[in-house]
Structure 1
Amino acid sequence: MATDMLDLADYERKARESVMAFWGNREQARQKQIEAGAVDHGERAGVTAGKNMDGFAALAIDIIRSNGLQNAAIHRKRSLLTLPGYFRPTKLWDLLIIQDGRLIAALEFKSQVGPSFRNNFNNRAEEAIGTAHDFWTSYREGAFGPNPRPFLGWLMLVEDAPKARAPIRDTSPHFPVFPEFRGTSCIGRYDILCQRLVREQLYTTASVITAPRSAATTGDFADISEMTNLRTFVASLAGHVAAEAARSR
């Protein structure tokens, strides 16, 4: 299905609004903790509210509604966001879409800000890989019923900062690191991760965008590559939704 036939719901404008909300919500959470006299250490003070990526969830919902699934059940309430796992009892998602008892899509919206880019990248990578493996094993074992493959999406926003763009040196004393990782930045590694998550069919689409803290007032964000950019994410979601809508007629 051609991209120009899909409704991408003015995604660029809404993405800018989501970026502004991301940084704005982080600052609000930090200020509330200061006023309450109980400030978390480091960047944790900006994430306590847990609503920083809600703008991107709202963008995904607009894509879903505008491409034919107006009556789908879209779940954002925490108590309704769990799915059965294979290696664990359940997994909590950020957004679930269900139509007529079929799981249409499961989405995760993640972010990373400084200063510990290297360590946090490894943690996020392990989480994304493990989550997908658990999900597809559950699907294979019939946890979601005898239905077509759902859409699995992963979107990461990384702070665009000097440390995030600085080359990272790795040590591997016994065997060499793959050459594409040598001297790459945290942002570059997220691009590699997202590309490989898709190529290995762990996710239907996986995207990474970057935004500096100054984007709190501008909404500016940047893509890294065509395969992992935001347009690819929303177009892939729109196409899947349109196909499911046609199936439901």
Structure 2
Amino acid sequence: MALDLADYEIKAQEAIKAFWGNRALAKKKQEAAGKIDQGERAGVTGGKNLDGFISLILELVQKNGLGHADIHRRKALVTLPGFFRPTKQWDLVVIHQGRLVAAIELKSHVGPSFSNNFNNRTEEAIGTAQDIWTAYRENAFGEQPRPFVGWLIVVEDAMGSQKPVRDQSTHFPVFREFQGASYLKRYDILCQRLVKEQLYTSASVIGTPRTAAETGAYTELSTMTGLREFVTSFAAHIAAEAARQE
């Protein structure tokens, strides 16, 4: 069965337009109501900024043979057991015949602050992966094949995320790959290592400037962490699950 990638490039462009558009809309609604969050948080509290990517994922499930699977997005239905904590809410969970097929996290990072937020995103991604795989090892989901565990982040492509960053490590040197690397590059390294260490089935970072609200433009930082790799890996996993029923 050939994989159907659901015209992901076109849908990703629409998702990027919606990402920036929804942020702007959320901020305007707060301004109209006279209640404004600090900094960039005003554009985040709308909660639907990445819905375009969720729609793409839903279509990949449909077109690769699991249209009859249960695809959950509501908070009460995306809660999975953890090992180091009781539960964790994911952004999207796919269940088929009682098996956990996929659990996906969608994140974004918009400036001006990149330093602290990058570290927070990194720690969160690593901790979440360790938690679900340890729970899987301990049969929290029953005896079943490994699920697809995915992490995708949309990062603002701006001066703050592009410029080289200097680090200080008094006692031991920082790994060479990180020396002078921008935050966009650091996300690329993070995603590559998340996959190499088998913490995620696929991890992707895409950069997009604010002007993409009109164009939907985005960039991939490497083949390994690009959106095509993420989409292809996910579609293959869905097709494999569907083939088990043939």
* Same structural fold, with TM-score higher than 0.5 when normalized by the shorter chain: yes
Measured in 1, the distance between the counterparts of 2:223 and 2:208 equals 17
Alignment equivalent of 2:149, drawn from 137, 147, 152? 152
The aligned counterpart of 1:88 is 85
In structure 2, the residue corresponding to 1:103 is in which secondary structure?
strand
Is 1:8 the counterpart of 2:5? The answer is yes
> What is the Cα deviation at residue 118 of structure 1?
1.5
> What is the Cα deviation at residue 205 of structure 1?
0.3
Alignment equivalent of 1:122, drawn from 96, 119, 132? 119
Measured in 2, the distance between the counterparts of 1:241 and 1:248 equals 12
Is 1:17 the counterpart of 2:10? The answer is no
> What is the Cα deviation at residue 119 of structure 1?
1.2
> What is the Cα deviation at residue 109 of structure 1?
0.6
Q: Please show how residues 1-249 of structure 1 align to structure 2 within 5 Å.
A: 5-249=2-246
Over residues 157-208 of structure 1, what are the superposed CA-to-partner deviations in whole Å (9 max), with x where a residue is unaligned? 0000011001111111111111110000000000000000000000000000
In structure 2, the residue corresponding to 1:248 is in which secondary structure?
coil
Runs of 4+ in 1 over 3 A off after TM superposition: none
Percent of residue pairs bearing the same amino acid type: 64
Measured in 2, the distance between the counterparts of 1:126 and 1:174 equals 22
Unaligned runs of 5+ in 1: none
- Paired amino acid for 1:92: Q
In structure 2, the residue corresponding to 1:26 is in which secondary structure?
helix
In structure 1, the residue corresponding to 2:244 is in which secondary structure?
helix
Measured in 1, the distance between the counterparts of 2:62 and 2:118 equals 33
Q: Which moved more, 1:115-124 or 1:12-21?
A: 115-124
Measured in 1, the distance between the counterparts of 2:144 and 2:245 equals 12
Unaligned runs of 5+ in 2: none
> What is the Cα deviation at residue 221 of structure 1?
0.5
> What is the Cα deviation at residue 100 of structure 1?
0.2
Superposition RMSD in Å? 0.7
Over residues 105-133 of structure 1, what are the superposed CA-to-partner deviations in whole Å (9 max), with x where a residue is unaligned? 00011000001111111100000000000
In structure 1, the residue corresponding to 2:35 is in which secondary structure?
coil
Over residues 52-91 of structure 1, what are the superposed CA-to-partner deviations in whole Å (9 max), with x where a residue is unaligned? 0111011011001100001000001111110000000000
In structure 2, the residue corresponding to 1:68 is in which secondary structure?
helix
In structure 1, the residue corresponding to 2:168 is in which secondary structure?
coil
> What is the Cα deviation at residue 48 of structure 1?
0.5
> What is the Cα deviation at residue 27 of structure 1?
0.4
Equivalent residue pairs, number: 246
In structure 2, the residue corresponding to 1:22 is in which secondary structure?
helix
Measured in 1, the distance between the counterparts of 2:99 and 2:61 equals 15
**Structure 1 length normalisation: TM-score?**
0.98
**Structure 2 length normalisation: TM-score?**
0.99
